[in-house]
Structure 1
Amino acid sequence: MGNTPLHRAVFWENKKLAELLLRRGADPNAANEAGTTPLHIVSMGDQCYDLAEMLFEICDQRNLTLLVDARDNSGNTPLHLALKYSPLDKESAIKLLLSRDADPNSANKEGSTPLYIVCDNYYGDQEDDVANEFFEICSAQQWTIVVYARDKLGRTPLQLAVTNLRPRLVDVLLNRGADLAYFVFPTAARFAEGSGPERCNVQLGLVSGLLGCVERLGQAKYELVLDDVLAIMQFFADRGVYDRTADPRVYLHYGFDKEEDIMKKVRIQKDVTLHESTKAFDYASYLKLANWREWRNLPAEPVEVCTWHLCGIMCRGLFGRWAEYPFWELIHYRLPLECCRMIVDGLANQDLMNICLTIKGLSQNGP
């Protein structure tokens, strides 16, 4: 409600009409009942750059100041909205707004700065490039971005990046000065709230994305504690990563003798089988594999078997390391540690989680 003709013209991305209205005296800073100005509306559209450039040019010609940091009723500036909604040519749009002195550190009513929007938003892997571009533009214009501030929920941008399973973004933030002293590892509930990427193979994306984030944090000298590992284990359990519902007869139905045969016959490239590809894969490679479009063209049962197998491979190292000493403690050190490792190596990931949960419960309840 309360929209002016200029609001409507830019909403429908009618550039000629908007230009005519502006040259005939329309107020470029008029706000509707939601506090939304024409620039707010422009910043949410596909033609954000073209329309915003036109608004600025005509305002310059009329010697008017276009309020680049005007806030709507939620406290959002046009820069917040461009980062959140504008899916096309986003880099050009934010570069224009920042060149016109938009404040990259302004916080809305939730305490979210534009950087929070970048970290909590996900249109695809290109969104991580937007984050890097955002820092590059701000640096070129001598803006200092606050990378460790907290929103009203106490979250830092780095925590949002991990919550949303974005290892590349974690790299960007750490390289730009994110301080691990301000970082709190997300809980399983926080991970469940995340807007993680939609990938062709969802389970594979969840596991490789989160473990990729853990790997990046470790490279920056962050040390996991048992609660962190349990949060990972519980999140994976809640998302069914350990579930395996495919009937073993699926192997015979599709002409396979056992699970490994499926891995050896499914090809992700002309000369590379799934089994061969996993021998030298890191988490980043698994993350790319999660976007392999051919997952959608394979029968559901073999896909489940492959996914279960690949996720198991990825979880194994972290879970096994964290279950060794708790298992040793649970058997009261009656076996050598090397024997415990051999036993742990033969356990399922769900069993490893149960071991860690048991030792956590004992530590809370006391001897």
Structure 2
Amino acid sequence: MVRSLLRQGADPNLANAEGLPPLHLIARRDVHGDMIRMFLSTNEERQQTVGIDARDNSGRTALEWAVTSCLPLAAKSLLKHGANVSGFVFPTPSDSDYLGRGSSLTKLTAATGLLAIVELLEARGYEMGRDDALKLMGFFDKYGLYESTDFSTSKDVDDLVDSLFEQMAKKRTYIDYLKFVSSYKMRKIPYESMEACSVRLCEKILTKFCRDWALDPFMESLHYRLPIVCCEMIMEKLKNKDLFNICLAAAGRRS
């Protein structure tokens, strides 16, 4: 229907009563990125210009809406069609109502999805800073991705988590991680083990990002009195929530 309307001359940039152009509306909900591809390709066929980097009444671009809604495939489609990252502003956790504190598998999808978004932005030249990393860690916290892993599980569950993470680690990109999490392999996890597996996998998936961004703030807090190797050894013992708190404390000192 959308394609038909566009081909009959519908204005692809006409905002609704809330000041949202069609592309922005699509970017908030397009889980698979298909609608964005169809919308933009149809307008390209008609040689109709779409304001892909236009800002709505709230000041956001379609790309910023896709990121706020944690929709990496929507972001991928926008970037592929030329969305510019030079003026991109990383959203804050308070900007997003996505997920709330959803099911364990939904949280796992959020973990891989958020990291996939960072990967996509950086591939297009976006440079993450400490403030951006802190915002992303705030998303992890909002979505309940720092849940404690201090609970006992059976050897079968531990082996399953290790096996799943080993399979994920072989993937080349976080988009591939996301596809794996959405695959039938995850659906085959016994229901009674799903919560434990998802929490443990979230911890493993987020660890590298959290350690990488917490290292400098951690060394800073020690006034660089310890060599980097010692700091890395200490951080290996910390949970992702601890690493987030280190970054929060550093941001507080800088403000």
* TM beyond 0.5: yes
Q: 1:143, CA displacement in angstroms?
A: 0.4
Distance 2:58 2:182 in 1: 32
The 8 Å contact of residues 200 and 290 in structure 1, kept in 2 or not, is answered as: no
Cα pair distance change 1:295/1:200, threshold 3 Å: farther
Higher Cα Rg, which structure: 1
The 8 Å contact of residues 161 and 201 in structure 2, kept in 1 or not, is answered as: no
Q: Map Cα deviations across residues 186-240 of structure 1 (whole Å, 9 max, x no partner).
A: 001113x2379x9881011111111100110011111112222112212211222
The 8 Å contact of residues 107 and 113 in structure 1, kept in 2 or not, is answered as: yes
The match for 2:236 among 337, 345, 349 is 345
Residue 108 (structure 1) aligns with: 16
Cα pair distance change 1:323/1:200, threshold 3 Å: closer
Higher RCO (C-alpha 8 Å, min separation 6): 2
Matched to 2:161, the amino acid is M
1:261 aligns with 2:164: no
1:120 aligns with 2:28: yes
Percent sequence identity over aligned pairs: 36
Cα pair distance change 1:182/1:110, threshold 3 Å: farther
The match for 2:246 among 320, 336, 355 is 355
Question: Where in structure 2 are there 5+ consecutive unaligned residues?
Answer: none
Cα pair distance change 1:132/1:200, threshold 3 Å: farther
Given the two structures, how large is their TM-score scaled by the length of structure 2? 0.90
- Provide the alpha-carbon RMSD of the alignment: 2.3
Residue 218 (structure 1) aligns with: 122
Matched to 1:280, the amino acid is K
Distance 1:118 1:275 in 2: 33
The 8 Å contact of residues 165 and 201 in structure 2, kept in 1 or not, is answered as: no
Matched to 1:165, the amino acid is C
Cα pair distance change 1:351/1:166, threshold 3 Å: same
The match for 2:190 among 293, 298, 303 is 298
Distance 1:199 1:101 in 2: 42
Distance 2:22 2:8 in 1: 15
Distance 1:131 1:221 in 2: 22
Matched to 1:208, the amino acid is T
Question: Where in structure 1 are there 5+ consecutive unaligned residues?
Answer: 1-92, 265-272
Cα pair distance change 1:199/1:214, threshold 3 Å: farther
Identify which range, 343-352 or 278-287, moves more after superposition.
278-287
Secondary structure, aligned partner of 1:217? helix
Q: Map Cα deviations across residues 41-90 of structure 1 (whole Å, 9 max, x no partner).
A: xxxxxxxxxxxxxxxxxxxxxxxxxxxxxxxxxxxxxxxxxxxxxxxxxx
Q: 1:149, CA displacement in angstroms?
A: 1.1
The match for 1:235 among 139, 148, 152 is 139
Q: 1:342, CA displacement in angstroms?
A: 2.1
Matched to 2:20, the amino acid is S
The 8 Å contact of residues 244 and 305 in structure 1, kept in 2 or not, is answered as: no
Matched to 1:213, the amino acid is I
Distance 1:187 1:202 in 2: 20
The match for 2:216 among 318, 325, 342 is 325
